[in-house]
A and B are shown apart, each in its own frame.
Chain A
Amino acid sequence: MTLLSSVVFFPLAGALVLLGLPRTLASRAFPLAMGFTGLTLFIAFGILGAVDPTQPGFQLTEKMPWIPEWGVSYHLAVDTLSLPLILLSALLFAVACAASSQRKEKQKEYFALMLILETGVMGSFLALDLMMFYIFWELVLIPMYLLIGIFGGERKNRAAVKFFLYTFCGSLLMLLAVAAVYFLSPARSFDLLELLKSPLSLEIQRMVFLGFLAGFAVKIPVFPLHTWLPEAHVEAPAPISVLLAGILLKMGAYGLMRFGVTLFPEAALEFRPVLMGLAVAGILAGGFAALSQKDLKRMIAYSSVSHMGFVVLGISAGTEAALSGAVFQMISHGLITSGLFLLAGYLYERTHTRDQDAFGGLAAGMPRYAGLLIFFSMASLGLPGLSGFPAELLVLAGTLERHPGASAAAAAGIFLSAFYLVTMLRKVLWGPVPQNAPVPSDIRPGETLVLLPLVILILLAGICPSLFTGLSAASLPPLVIGASNG
C-alpha cells in the first residue's frame, strides 16, 4: 500500500470499522471517527512531504491494470493541482468531524457516511482513469444524499432529492461523455495520460466537452444550475455544509480543470465567452440574491455561488495569474465558507433560528462569537491580509488585460459581498437588542478550537500568499487556455 491509495481507502476502512461497531459502543463513534479523519490528515501531510512542488506533471503514480479488456486501469497520481485540494479536504473532514462532537443520535451511521464521503472525495481528486474518476464521483453522491436526507432539517427530503436529482442528471451526461471519449478516441482507453497522446478533433471535443461541463457545472455550481445549493445548505447540518461548500463544490472546478480543459483545450477556448459570461452572471446573481436572504445559511450559500463564480472566471480567463487565482480561491473559499457555516450552525444550535432579523446586539453578550463572525465575514468580502484578497486579486489581474469588462463586473460583485456581509454584521451583532430576541451564550473554547485552524490558515494565506501559489504553480501552464493555438 502506498500513500495515495491509503489516503483514499483509509477513511473507507474507518467507515467499515464504525459500521461493525456493536450498539453498546456506539458512543465511541466520535473519537474513532476523529482518529480516522485525523490520521487521514496525517497521511495527506505525508503526501505533501513526498511531493516535489517544483516538478510539473504527476508524481507518486500508482498504476495497475484493472479491467484491461476495456482499457480501465487503477491509476492514482498527484500533481500540484490536486495536492492543495487533498490537503484542504483532509483538513475540512477533520474539522467537520470535530464540529460534530455533540451529535447524539445515529452516531455510527453519521460518521460512517462521512468517512465514505471522504474516500469518494479523495478518489475523485487522485484518479487519473476516467472510469475510476466517475466511480468515485458517484460515490460522493450517495453518502451526501443520505447525510442530508437523514440528518437534515425540516425539509430535508426535498433538499436531498433535489441535490440528488440535479447532480445525478449532470453526472449522467458526464457518463455519456466518458463513454464517448472512450469510443471516439483512437486510444481506446479511459486513462487520461493515454487519451492526451491522441488529441480529438474539434467536433468531437465540442460535444464531449459539453457533457463533462454538465456534470462539473452543476457541482461548482455554475449559474443558472445553482438552485440546488441554497436548499441543500439550509437543510444540511452545519458540519455537512462545511463538506458540501468546502469540498464538493471544488470537485466540479477541479474536474473542469483536470479533465475539461486538459482533454479538450480547443473546445474550452471556443466555449470561453459562454463560460466567462456565466461566471460573471453567477458572481452578480449570487451576490444580489444573497442581499435579500433573511436566512443566514441561505445567504452564505448564495455568497458561495458568487465566490465560486470567481473560480470559473479564473479558469475561463485561462491566464496563469487567473488560474492561480482560481486555485487560490478554491482553497480560500473552502476555509472561509466553512467557518461561516459553522458559525451559523453554532447560533442555530443555541436559538433554533437562522433568521437574521430575529437577532440584534449579539456582540454585547457574545464577544468571542462576534469577533469570529467579523473575522470570517471580512475574509469573505476580500479584506487584504486574509485569504480572500490574494485569490480575488489574482483572478481580477489575470482577467483584466483581455477582458476588462468581466473584471470590472467581478469587482462589482466584491462590493455586493461587502454590502450583504456588513449589513448582516450590523443586524446580527450590533444595534440595540430587540425585545424577545434570544440572548445566547458565547461560544465555548472547544467550538473556538475547531475554528482555530481555519483562522490560522486564512491569515497565513492572506499574509504570505506565495506559500500557497507556489504549491500549485507548476501544474498551471498546461491549463492556460489559448496559449498554444492563439
Chain B
Amino acid sequence: MVTLLLHPLSPAAFPLAAAALNFIFGKQLKAKTAWISSAASLMSFAVSIFLLTRTAAHGVMQGSIIWLEAGNFKITSGFLLDPLSASFLAVVSLVGMLIQIYAAGSMKDDPEFTRFYSTLSLFMAAMTALIAADGLLLFFMAWEIMGLCSFLLIGFWFQKEAAAKAAHKAFLATRLGDLCLLLGLLMLSSSLGTLQFTALSEKAAALGASAWLSAAALLIFAGAAGKSAQFPFHIWLPDAMEGPTPVSALIHAATMVAAGIYLLIRTFPVLALDARVLSVIAAVGTFTAVLTALLALRSQEIKKTLAFSTLSQLGMMAACIGFSNPGAAFFHLVTHAFFKALLFMGAGNVLHACGTQNLGRLGGLGRPMKLTSGAFLVGSLALAGLPPLSGFWSKEGILAAAHGYSPFYFGALLLTSFLTALYSARLYLQIFEGSASRSADAETARECPKSMTIPLLTLGVLAAAAGIPGSPWMGYFFQTFIGISPHGDPASYAVLAGSLIACALGLAGAWLSAGPWRGLGLKETAGAGRFLEKAGMELPNSAARLFASGLKTAGRAAACTDRLLLDGAVMLPGVLLQLAAAGFRKIQSGFILHYLLAAFAAVIGLLAAGMNF
C-alpha cells in the first residue's frame, strides 16, 4: 500500500481521483470541490518531495509495461524517476496547489465552480503523468489530454464569443504541432525500436546522425513549438487569456506551455545528433524571444502583456536548448513557473478588485492593495532579472550558454533581457504607482481575501529565493543535481556585466518613462510599434486564417466534386434507366429495384444452369 502510494505515478493518481470525484459528485460537493482538488495537489506535492529525496539517495528509477504490441511494433509505457522529473513534479504540484487554493477565492461566485475544478484536476493529472513519463508514448498521451483541458478551460466561459473562438484556435494550433510530434515519435520508434527516453538516447548515439532522425527531430521540435507557442505558433497564446486567470497562471504560464521545453530537454540526445536541428531551435527561440518582448511593450492589458512575456521567456528557454544547454533551460523553466504564476495571480487580484485589467485605466493601486503590490513587485523584478531574485540566476545561465554559442545570439538575448526589465517594471509602475484618479474602479479597490493573497505571498517567497540553489553561492547545486548539462562558463564577467547592465538599463528606462520622461518618444516610435504589431501578430494571424479558409474552400470543393462528379457518374445510369422506363410504364420509385431484382434472378438462373452442365 505504502509503496503504491509513493509510486512515481501516484502524483498523477491523486488529481485523477479528484477529477473523477468532482465530476461525478459535483452537484453534492459544490464548494468542497476546490478543497478536494487542492488536497489532491497537496498529496502530489508531498509524494514528489519524497520522490525527490529518494532519487537523490538512490539514483534513477524506472519501470514500464507493454502498452501495445502488434507484430514487431511494441510500445511500452511507464515512469522514469530522475532528479529532473522529481524536481519538476515538486514544482508543478506546488504551483498547482497554490493556484487551486487561489482559485477557490477568485472563482467563488462562478456558477460552474465544480466544472472548473474537475477540469483543473484532470489537467494536473495529465501534467504530472507527462513529467513522470518514461517515454514518448505516455508523454504524448498526457500532452494531448492537457490540450483538451486547455481547450475546455480557455473556453470555460463558453458563452462569450471571444472565449469560444480562442479555445478553438488554441486547440487547432496546438493540434497541428501535436500531429507533427506524433509523426516524429513514430519515426523514432520505427528506426530506433523504442520510445523510452533513456533507450532513445543510447540508441540514437549508437546509430549516429541520419536524415531520417533529423527529420524526426525537427517534427518533435514542431510539436514543442506548438505547445510552447513558439513562432509561428505564438498566435494562440495571447488569445488564450480569455480563460479564467487561474487557468492562465497554471496552464498558460507555469506548466503546460513549459511542457514543450520539457519535451526538448527529454529528447535532447536525439536533437543534438544534428547541429542543424539545434541551430533551427536556437534561431526560432531567439526570434520568438525578441519579437514577443517587443510586443509585450505595446500591449495595453495586463494579462496580454504577461502572455507575451511568457512567450518571450519560453523563447529564451528553447533557444538555450539550441545552445546545447538543456540544464540551464530547465532552471529557468522552474524559476519562471514561480514568478510568472505569481504575476498572473497578481493580475487576477487587480482584475478582481477593479473589474478591469486595462493599463490605461489603472494606477495607484499600491496603497489599497499592499500585499498584492508587494508580491507583484517581487515577481516583476524576478522577471526583470534583478539579483539576487530567482530570475537573475536562471537567466544568467541562458545568457552564458548564448555567449558560448555565438555573439549574435548573445546580443539578441541581452536585448531581450533589457526589454524584459523595461516592460516588467513598467507594468508594475503603471498598475501600482501614480495616481488612482484615472479610473473610478481603481479608487474603490480593496485588497483581496486571504485565500487569494496567501498563495500569492508564498509564491513571492519562492520567486525571490528559488534561484539560490542554482547560484554560485551554493556552487550551482541545482544544476549539478539535475545533472543533464554543466553550467556554462560561470566565471565569465562579460555575461555577468551584460545581464546586469541590461537589467539596470531596463529598470531605469521604465522608471524614467513613468516619471520624468513620460510620453517621450511615444509619437516617434508609434509607427514602428504599429508595424511590429502588424508584422508580429496580425500577419501570422492572417496567415492562419488564410490556412483555415483555404482548408474550408478545399472542403467545399471536395463536397461539390463529391455531389456532382462522383455521385453524378454513378447515378446517371439510374436516371437514364428511369427515363427509358417512362416509355413503358408509369414511373414508380421502386422501378430500379424491380429491374435489379429481375437482373439478380437472371444471374442466379444462369449460374444454376452453368453449374448443371
Contact = CB atoms under 8 A, between A and B. Distances in A.
Contacts of A225: 570
15 contacts: A168-B600, A183-B610, A291-B556, A292-B552, A292-B556, A321-B70, A321-B71, A324-B70, A324-B71, A384-B145, A397-B73, A412-B179, A418-B172, A419-B172, A465-B68
Interface string B583-613: 0000001101100100110011001001100
B555 interface: yes
Given A172-B603, A393-B68, A466-B68, A289 B144 contact: no
B175 A415 contact: yes
A6 interface: no
A383 B145 contact: yes
Given A320-B73, A414-B179, A385 B145 contact: yes
Given A161-B590, A400-B186, 9 more contacts: A162-B571, A291-B556, A361-B158, A364-B159, A414-B179, A426-B155, A426-B168, A465-B68, A469-B68
Contacts of A161: 574, 589-590, 592-593
B579 interface: no
Contacts of A384: 140-142, 144-145
A394 B70 contact: yes
A323 B70 CA distance: 9
Interface residues of B, number: 67
Interface stretch (A204-212, A428-436, A437-445): A428-436
Contacts of A374: 152
Interface string B130-159: 000000000011101100100110010011
A227 B562 CA distance: 7
A245 to B, nearest CB: 17
Nearest to B595: A165
B392 to A, nearest CB: 39
A158 B574 CA distance: 11
B291 interface: no
A39 B566 CA distance: 42
Assign chain A's interface to a size class.
Answer: 35 or more
Contacts of B140: 384
A328 B440 CA distance: 62
B143 to A, nearest CB: 8
B600 A291 contact: no
Contact of A291 (B72, B160, B187, B552): B552
A411 B183 contact: yes
Contacts of B562: 227, 230, 285, 289
B17 to A, nearest CB: 15
Contacts of A162: 571, 574
A132 to B, nearest CB: 15
Given A320-B71, A465-B67, A431 B186 contact: no
Contact of A321 (B73, B600, B603): B73
A404 B184 CA distance: 11
B172 A422 contact: yes
Contacts of A290: 555
Given A172-B603, A407-B186, A422-B171, A291 B555 contact: yes
A68 to B, nearest CB: 12
A271 interface: no
Choose among B66, B73, B574 the residue with the greatest number of A CB atoms under 10 Å from its CB. Answer: B73
B513 interface: no
B566 A165 contact: no
B205 interface: no
B299 interface: no
Contact of B599 (A172, A182, A466): A172
Give the secondary structure class of A's interface. helix
Scoring A165, A168, A364 by chain B CB atoms within 10 A of each residue's CB, the highest score goes to A165
Interface in A182-220: 182-183
Contacts of B159: 361, 364, 430-433
Contacts of A165: 570, 574, 592, 596
Interface in A375-401: 378, 383-385, 389-390, 393-394, 396-398, 400-401
B551 A172 contact: no
Question: Taking each of B66, B187, B570, which has the highest tally of chain A beta carbons within 10 Å of its own beta carbon?
Answer: B570
B186 A396 contact: yes
Contacts of A321: 70-73
Contacts of B610: 179, 183
A431 B158 contact: yes
A226 B558 CA distance: 13
A80 to B, nearest CB: 13
Interface in A49-96: 70
Contacts of A145: 593
Nearest to A426: B168
Contacts of B563: 227
A407 B73 contact: no
B300 interface: no
B196 to A, nearest CB: 16
B512 interface: no
A430 B158 contact: yes
Interface string B241-273: 000000000000000000000000000000000
Nearest to A420: B555
B501 interface: no
A476 B175 CA distance: 32
Contact of A292 (B142, B186, B558): B558
A16 interface: no
A177 to B, nearest CB: 12
Contact of A288 (B71, B163, B182, B558): B558
Contacts of B567: 227
Contacts of A465: 67-68
A385 B145 CA distance: 8
B190 interface: yes
B582 interface: no
B358 interface: no
Contacts of A367: 115
A321 to B, nearest CB: 4
Interface string B531-569: 000000000000000001001101111110111001100
Given A407-B183, A432-B159, A319 B71 contact: yes
Interface in B384-411: none
A202 B571 CA distance: 33
B73 A398 contact: yes
Contact of A224 (B175, B187, B554, B566): B566
Given A289-B558, A466-B66, A164 B158 contact: no
B172 A320 contact: no
B435 interface: no
Contact of B144 (A172, A324, A383): A383
Interface in B158-183: 158-161, 163-165, 167-168, 171-172, 175-176, 179, 182-183
A431 B161 contact: yes
Contact of A411 (B72, B182, B592): B182
Interface in A329-372: 361, 363-364, 367
Contacts of B66: 466
8 tightest Cβ-Cβ pairs between the two chains A and B: A320-B71, A291-B555, A324-B70, A384-B141, A288-B558, A321-B73, A292-B555, A227-B567
Interface in A114-168: 145, 157-158, 161-162, 164-166, 168
B109 interface: no
B524 interface: no
A416 to B, nearest CB: 7
Interface in A287-304: 288-293, 302
Nearest to B589: A157
Given A320-B73, A398-B73, A411-B183, A430 B155 contact: yes
